[in-house]
Structure 1
Amino acid sequence: MPMVTPGLAGLNALSPPRAERELLACCGSRAFARAVAAGRPYGDEAALTAAAEAAVRALSWPDVLEALAAHPRVGERPGGPSREASWSREEQSGAAGADRRVLAGLAAGNARYEERFGHVYLVCATGLTAAAMLERLEARLGNDAEAERAVVTEELAAITRLRVARLAAGPAGEAR
């Protein structure tokens, strides 16, 4: 059973270790969770999401890789009851009823991407169809390593922004 989302007031009131655990559901980097938890209390959702985005953009590459390890491959549905798994399933819902050829293309593209860059392909999938995810993957295979790191960091910031907003909204955010 997924944990109940604490909301902004609840997040502000948590002990630092508990706040960090909640924030890890938004971005799997411990450095991110420590930085955002240390910035509490936040006056409103906008302040929290701005701090979260800034924290993601300030991550070292090893910290970004730690966060990427918490993300499933695009097109693969994570199992389990955790908040992260639930959010990931919702974010990738555009792949749920996709054509088998598109899903096969995503699987093959994921393999090529991981071989080229050494980590999982990350895209803010909210609102995207599987075909759009595949199109972006194929385009990004042409990036050099430095350019792709910048894109990955921005995609991670976008995903984190959406998840932090859900966390701040409390139980109502679970329906977002």
Structure 2
Amino acid sequence: MTITEFNTLTKDAASQALELCCVSQRWIAGVLEERPFQDLSALQQRANFVWSTLGREDYLEAFEGHPKIGDVTSLKAKYSGSGNLAAHEQSGVSSASDKVIERLAEGNRQYEEIFGYIFIVCATGKSAQEMCELLEQRLDNDPEKELAVAAEEQRKILQIRLEQWQ
């Protein structure tokens, strides 16, 4: 999709397009307030501004839009390169060893137990080993710091997804 195409969508269709980048309804509504956009840069700037105005509940809603790392089988299936955005972004997992995948699954289980939401990381360009190490490091964060880190990772993800709208 291009910015021109996005600008001509109905409000519902534009909302659905933005939902592919981030499912936070307040984020979507805030971005749509400034439509039409002159160019991709203007859209990205608005996306960042709206993101900076959101709070905990909005972040948690956004996190729910990501695939959950639950067990080893579903983890392998989710990131096997099926062509969807999340699979492509997290393709570093598809070539990971079973040991690393098991560590990711166990780390995510611990993470969810500690923080109450799934581990969010901008996985683009990262190997499964790197993601595993980041997850394990972040388990020691206090809840407030971790929410800020996860929110920043979500912001990076939505920006990468918007970049495809050239």
Q: TM-score, normalised by structure 1?
A: 0.85
Opposite residue 12 of structure 2, the aligned amino acid is P
Looking at both structures, which has the greater relative contact order when contacts are Cα pairs under 8 Å and sequence separation is at least 6? 1
Seq. identity, %:
37
Q: Deviations over 1:79-114 (max 9, x none)?
A: 9xx9xx700000000000101110000000000000
Of residues 8, 13, 19, the one that matches 2:3 is 8
Q: TM-score, normalised by structure 2?
A: 0.90
> Corresponding residue for 2:36?
41
Structure 2 unpaired stretches of 5+: none
> Corresponding residue for 2:14?
19
The answer (yes or no) to whether the contact 1:57–1:154 under 8 Å persists in 2 is: no
> Corresponding residue for 1:131?
129
Pairwise CA distance, 1:73: 2.9
Whole-Å Cα distance in 2 between the matches of residues 147 and 56 of structure 1?
17
Of residues 25, 31, 37, the one that matches 1:30 is 25
Aligned CA-pair RMSD: 1.7
Opposite residue 109 of structure 2, the aligned amino acid is A
Structure 1 unpaired stretches of 5+: 1-5, 170-176
1:161-172 matches, cutoff 5 A: 161-166=159-164, 168-169=165-166
Query: Aligned pair count?
Result: 159
Whole-Å Cα distance in 2 between the matches of residues 27 and 78 of structure 1?
18
1:113-128 matches, cutoff 5 A: 113-128=111-126
Confirm whether residue 93 of structure 1 aligns to residue 91 of structure 2.
yes
Deviates more, 1:106-115 or 1:46-55: 46-55
> Corresponding residue for 2:154?
156
Whole-Å Cα distance in 2 between the matches of residues 125 and 54 of structure 1?
23
Runs of 4+ in structure 1 displaced over 2 angstroms?
Answer: 73-79
> Corresponding residue for 2:53?
58
